[in-house]
Chains A and B, each alone.
Chain A
Amino acid sequence: GESVGLHLPTLSVQEGDNSIINCAYSNSASDYFIWYKQESGKGPQFIIDIRSNMDKRQGQRVTVLLNKTVKHLSLQIAATQPGDSAVYFCAENNPTGYQKVTFGTGTKLQVIP
């Protein structure tokens, strides 16, 4: 949903621990979901995606879980490193009409060395 006016929630994690970042999406018709990582002063970068016909997808140190029943998406980062410190956004693709992707609120991940 729209996230413009909200301060970003922050998740603090000890280096080496696993991180779980959650996202609730709004449109039950959304067919594609993306996680982006945004480092300070830079544009968002693609991390991992998942289609609505899947419930889990794994990448290198990252796993995305999709629960369509409750419209919930999560990003799991294994063995969190200082370089993982960033803001993470989920995004949902609306397959109807306007070819737009809607971004979630964003979560700031702080890794404690």
Chain B
Amino acid sequence: SQTIHQWPATLVQPVGSPLSLECTVEGTSNPNLYWYRQAAGRGLQLLFYSVGIGQISSEVPQNLSASRPQDRQFILSSKKLLLSDSGFYLCAWSVLGPESYNEQFFGPGTRLTVL
């Protein structure tokens, strides 16, 4: 069966510090991978998605970046965090079937607080 891992689960970082959040998927090959951010009491904001190694598409211009060094690894980074980067970060994966349906499966999330 497939599983998705995210770490760390919680993180408190000072403004201006760097960030690295990691997401890995097990039990599937060549998944589509996604990073979302969710502010408290808000909906899901798609940040990045990737359809393959080294292929990253950005949805929102910001001080965050994403990388996919391996097929089942997706990393979210920042060189200098802002207060507005605080939120709940969710990684998700999907695999398109023959009928092109795209159900996404979410990880447990990382709660980031920037002080």
Chain A residues near B (Cβ < 8 Å): 2-8, 31-32, 34, 36, 41-46, 49, 51, 89, 91, 93, 95, 98-101, 103-106
Q: What distance in Å separates the Cβ of B11 from its nearest Cβ neighbour in chain A? A: 14
Residue B7 CB within 8 A of the other chain: no
Verify A46–B42 contact, CB threshold 8 A: no
The answer to whether A42 and B109 touch (CB under 8 A), given A3-B44, A4-B39, A100-B49, is yes
- Besides A3-B44, A43-B107, 4 new A-B residue pairs in contact (Cβ under 8 A), listed by A number: A4-B39, A31-B101, A43-B108, A44-B90
Verify B43–A105 contact, CB threshold 8 A: yes
Verify A99–B51 contact, CB threshold 8 A: yes
Residue B94 CB within 8 A of the other chain: yes
Interface of A is mostly: loop
The answer to whether A95 and B46 touch (CB under 8 A), given A8-B41, A41-B111, A43-B90, is no
Verify A49–B100 contact, CB threshold 8 A: no
Contact partner of A43 among B45, B49, B100, B109, CB < 8 A? B109
Query: How far, in whole Å, are A93 and B90 apart by their CA atoms in the complex?
Result: 18
For window 80-110 of chain B, which residues contact chain A by CB distance below 8 Å? 88, 90, 92, 94, 96, 100-109
| Residue from A3, A46, A101 having most chain B Cβ neighbours under 10 A | A101
| Residue from A46, A91, A93 having most chain B Cβ neighbours under 10 A | A93
Contact partner of B43 among A8, A41, A46, A101, CB < 8 A? A8
Residue B57 CB within 8 A of the other chain: yes
Contact partner of A99 among B45, B90, B94, CB < 8 A? B94
Q: Of all chain B residues, which has the CB nearest A108? A: B41
Residue B73 CB within 8 A of the other chain: no
Q: List 21 A-B contacts (CB under 8 A).
A: A2-B43, A4-B45, A6-B42, A7-B42, A8-B41, A8-B42, A32-B101, A32-B102, A34-B104, A41-B109, A42-B109, A43-B90, A49-B101, A49-B103, A93-B100, A98-B49, A98-B57, A99-B102, A101-B104, A103-B44, A104-B43
Q: What distance in Å separates the Cβ of A91 from its nearest Cβ neighbour in chain B? A: 7
Verify A95–B90 contact, CB threshold 8 A: no
